[in-house]
Each structure stands twice: as structure tokens, then as C-alpha cells.
Amino acid sequence: MSPRVLLMLGSNVDAEQQLDAAMRLLDGQFGVIQRSGRHWTPAAGSTDAPAYLNQAVVIRSKLDRVRLRERLRAVESQLGRRRPSPEPGLCPIDIDAVGRWLPEFEVWDTKSYTAQYAQLPLRDIAPEGI
């Protein structure tokens, strides 16, 4: 069985629809096995940007970190994400691979794992902590 991988999703442009679309794409490509509730948080580092809607998701994937990131970037592109952003402060979708269980949890993205916006979704996924 493929390892479980923890993702953090966020959007501040048509956020509900973007997260719904991302979930459909992720489920089709990987299979979503767990998802948190959705939580609104202020945009990090910017008081002018709209708030983000965030959600944690667990998928199964055998892909290594680099290949998984490429696939996640492709999903972001499908949903309208451009790098660099033509409109700073606005993000249609952001998908970060936070880490995976092998069987212990291995953190890949410390920034996403410890960020304030991730704490409520992470508690939904693992109330006892990861």
C-alpha cells in the first residue's frame, strides 16, 4: 500500500469552489482518504489580501517528494494558479505536501507544518497530534 501523504490546501479566490475542484482532482489522481474541515484564516504577512480558506487532506502516493510536487503544481495550474502571481495577494489555489507517514510522520515542509493557518486543519486530521 502506498504511503499516506499530508497536504495543505488554501485559496483566497472563489475559495469554496477552488477547494471543491482541487478535491475532485486530487481524489481522481491519488485518492483522498481523509480531509479536515475548512477554516478561514487571515492572509499571512499581508493585511490587504483577502482571508484564506484552508483544508488539510491525506492522500496515498508512492511518488517521491520532487515528483509529487510536480504533480501538485500541475493541479494548481489546472485551477488557474500562475507563478509568479499576476495579482500579488491573490491565490486561486495553493497545495503543499507537508509530509508523509513511513510509518512515522516525516515533515517535508516545516513552514506549512508549523504555520498558524495549518493548526486547525491539522487538529481535525490528527486531534492527538502528528
- Average confidence score pLDDT of the chain: 93
Where in the sequence is the domain holding 65, given as residue range(s)? 4-125
Per-residue confidence band for 88, with pLDDT thresholds at 50, 70 and 90: confident
* Domain presence at residue 80: yes
* Domain presence at residue 115: yes
Distances in Å between the alpha carbon of 24 and those of 40, 47, 57, 97, 101?
A: 20, 31, 12, 17, 23
pLDDT at position 47: 72
In 3D space, the residue among 47, 5, 49, 53 whose CA is nearest the CA of residue 30 turns out to be: 5
Q: What is the pTM of this model?
A: 0.94
Per-residue model confidence as pLDDT tens digits over 50-77: 999 999 999 999 999 999 999 999 999 9
What is the total count of domains within the chain?
1
Q: What is the dihedral of CA 18, 29, 106, 65, to 10 degrees?
A: -100
* Domain presence at residue 130: no
* Domain presence at residue 56: yes
- CATH number of the domain enclosing 21: 3.30.70.560
Give the separation between CA 28 and CA 31, rounded to whole angstroms.
Answer: 6
* Domain presence at residue 107: yes
At 20, phi and psi to the nearest 5? -60, -45
* Domain presence at residue 118: yes
